Amino acid sequence: MKFTELNLPEAVLKGVAEVGFTELTPVQEETIPIALSGKDVAAQAQTGTGKTAAFLVSLFTRLLTSGKRTSNNPRALIMAPTRELVVQIVEDAKGLGAHCPIKVQAIFGGMDYDKQRQALKDGVDIIVATPGRLIDYAKQRVFTFDRIEALVIDEADRMFDMGFIKDLRYILRKLPDFEHRQTMLFSATLSPRVRELAYEFMDLAERVEILPEQVTAERVEQLLYHASRREKFPLLMGLLKKELDAERVLVFVNTKREAEYLTERLKANDLKAAVISGDIPQNKRMRILADFKEGKLTFLVATDVASRGIHIDAVSHVINYDLPQDPEDYVHRIGRTARAGALGKAISFADEDLVFHLPDIEEYIGRKIPSRFPEEDDFFWDYKRGAPRKKAPPAHAKPAAAAAKAKKPRRRGKPRSDGKPSA
C-alpha cells in the first residue's frame, strides 16, 4: 500500500513525499488506518519498522482538522523514556510536518529551561516529552492538559516500568478521560503485564492490538561468545582485528561505571571511542551522539540510555559487552543495527556473572543464539593496559577465582570519594 492511497491531507502527503516515503511498512499499514479512525491502538512491532512515522502521520492528520492552536493548551502529547528519543521524534516531526501548520515542541530536562517554558506559554500543538520536566511545568501551571485529545506513549513498556510508572500515572490522571482522547501505545516489546497496566488508560471497546510473531529483526546476524570477565576486553580487541568492516560499533554495558572504564580502555588503545550514559551532561550527550552519527567516532560505549528507539545509520556492529539483565533490552539493543533494510551484526559476550540471563533471553526471542567458546587466536592480548601479555587461558577457567577477585575493587561500604552518600 502507498501513502497516496491513504486519503491524507495534502500538507501531510507533501511532507511524507519529501522525507522519501512511498510504500507503507507493515506496521504502518496496520496502525495508520485504525489511528485515523480515532480508535486506540496498542502496537508491538520490530525495531526500525517505522513506528514513529505511523503515529506522527496520524497525529498531524487529526490535528489539522480538529481545531486550532491556543496558548497554554497543547492538543497532543507524545511521551518517551529518554531525552535523545524526544529530540529524534521532534526531528522526524519537522520533516514529516514541514508543510503542516502544527507546532511541535520538545520538553526534556538538562537544557533550555526558560526557552521550553516560553514555548509552552506561547502555545504548541504537540508536546514531545520525557516525564520529569513536563511535570515540573505542569505543576507551575505553565500549561494545562485540558485540551489534550491524543496521547502517544512510545517505548511503552519502558514508560510503564518501575522507574517511570509514578510520573506517568501523574500525567495520565491529569489528562482528559480516555473516552475523550485517543491513546496510542508503541514498542518493539510489549509484555502482557505492561499491556494490562496500560489498558487501564485505554478505551477497551475501541482498542486494536497488533502483535508480531517475531520480536527481533531477522536481518541482524546474532552471535554469542562465552568468555570470562577478564577475557572480554582482549576478545573485543581480537574481534576488531578480524572484523575489518567494523566501522560503527555500538558497545552496550550494564552500568555507567563500566561504560566509563571501558571507554578509557578503548581510548588507551588509540581507538576513537566515547561514552554516553545518564552521568554525561546533556549537551555533551547530544554532541557525542551527533559525532557518532557523522562517523567521527568508531565506538560508542553506552548504557541502556541508548538502547531504545535511537536511529543511527549504518551501525555495523552492536556488541553486548555485558549481557543485558532484561530480555527486552537485548531486543532493543540489537535493534540499533540492521535498521531500515541495512545489514548488521550483534555479538554478545556471556561471562560468569551474567550468563545466567541467557536462558531468559533465548526464551524471549524464541530461538537459540548461535554461541561458541573463543579460540586462542580470537584474542588480542597485546593492548596497553591492565592485562597479561601472554596467551589466553581456556574460557571459563577458574570462574570462582575470577569472580572473587572481581568483587575486591568494589569498595563496598566505604564512603564515596566524591563525598556524596552511596546509594
Long-range pairs of 33-37 with CB within 8 A, sequence gap ≥ 24: 33/6, 34/208, 35/182, 35/184, 36/6, 36/61, 36/62
CA distances from 198 to 170, 190, 193 (A): 14, 10, 9
User: Stretches 69-77, 131-139, 182-190, 287-295: which one binds DNA (CB under 7 A)?
Assistant: 131-139
User: Stretches 103-111, 195-203, 309-317, 397-405: which one binds DNA (CB under 7 A)?
Assistant: 103-111
Q: Mask of contacts with DNA, 229-268, x by CB under 7 A?
A: -------------------------xxxx-----------
# residues near DNA by CB under 7 A = 34
- Answer left, alpha or beta for residue 30, where phi above 0 means left and psi between -120 and 50 means alpha: alpha
Residue with the three cell numbers 520480536 = 215
Residues 325-384 that bind DNA (CB under 7 A): 325-326
Q: How many helices (DSSP H) and strands (DSSP E) are in the chain?
A: 15, 14
- Minimum CB separation from DNA for residue 60, in Å? 24
Which among 369, 381, 362, 379 has a CA at the least distance from the CA of 345?
369
Q: Is residue 355 helix, strand or coil? A: helix
Q: Contact between 155 and DNA (CB under 7 A)?
A: no
Smaller CB separation from DNA, 127 or 249: 127
- Minimum CB separation from DNA for residue 157, in Å? 11
Among residues 153, 202, 235, 305, which is the contact residue for DNA, using CB under 7 A?
A: 305
Q: Contact between 113 and DNA (CB under 7 A)?
A: yes
Order of strands, sheet of 104-107, starting from the edge strand that comes earlier in the sequence: 104-107, 126-129, 76-79, 150-154, 182-187, 40-44, 207-210
Smaller CB separation from DNA, 241 or 257: 257
User: Stretches 29-37, 38-46, 237-245, 277-285: which one binds DNA (CB under 7 A)?
Assistant: 277-285
* H-helix or E-strand spanning residue 210: strand 207-210
- Minimum CB separation from DNA for residue 303, in Å? 4
Among residues 68, 115, 139, 389, which is the contact residue for DNA, using CB under 7 A?
A: 139
- Minimum CB separation from DNA for residue 140, in Å? 9
Residues 71-100 that bind DNA (CB under 7 A): 81-84
Smaller CB separation from DNA, 133 or 195: 133
- Minimum CB separation from DNA for residue 279, in Å? 6
310-335 as b/e, with b when 16 or more CB fall inside 10 Å?
A: bbbeebbbbbbbbbbebbbbbbbbbb
Smaller CB separation from DNA, 81 or 335: 81
Among residues 157, 161, 351, 352, which is the contact residue for DNA, using CB under 7 A?
A: 161
Q: Is residue 349 helix, strand or coil? A: strand
Smaller CB separation from DNA, 216 or 254: 254
User: Stretches 16-24, 52-60, 159-167, 205-213: which one binds DNA (CB under 7 A)?
Assistant: 159-167
Smaller CB separation from DNA, 308 or 317: 308
Q: Identify whether the C-beta of residue 33 lies closer than 8 Å to the C-beta of residue 208.
A: no
Q: Contact between 303 and DNA (CB under 7 A)?
A: yes
Smaller CB separation from DNA, 38 or 278: 278
Alpha carbons 27 and 44: distance in angstroms, whole number: 8
CA dihedral 408, 413, 416, 417 (to 10 degrees): -60
- Give me the amino acid identity at 137: Y
User: Stretches 22-30, 185-193, 201-209, 300-308: which one binds DNA (CB under 7 A)?
Assistant: 300-308
User: Which residues are within 8 A (CB) of 62 and not within 5 positions of it... i.e. 6 or more apart?
Assistant: 36, 38, 76, 149, 150, 182
Q: If 0-12 CB within 10 Å is exposed, 13-18 middle and 19+ buried, where does residue 196 land?
A: exposed
Q: If 0-12 CB within 10 Å is exposed, 13-18 middle and 19+ buried, where does residue 140 land?
A: exposed
- Minimum CB separation from DNA for residue 236, in Å? 19
User: Stretches 1-9, 135-143, 217-225, 227-235: which one binds DNA (CB under 7 A)?
Assistant: 135-143
Smaller CB separation from DNA, 70 or 255: 255
Alpha carbons 110 and 13: distance in angstroms, whole number: 35
- Minimum CB separation from DNA for residue 155, in Å? 11
Among residues 123, 278, 393, 399, which is the contact residue for DNA, using CB under 7 A?
A: 278
- Minimum CB separation from DNA for residue 404, in Å? 17
Q: Please give the residue ranges that form the binding site for DNA (CB under 7 A).
A: 81-84, 108-110, 113, 129-136, 139, 161-164, 167, 254-257, 277-279, 303-305, 325-326
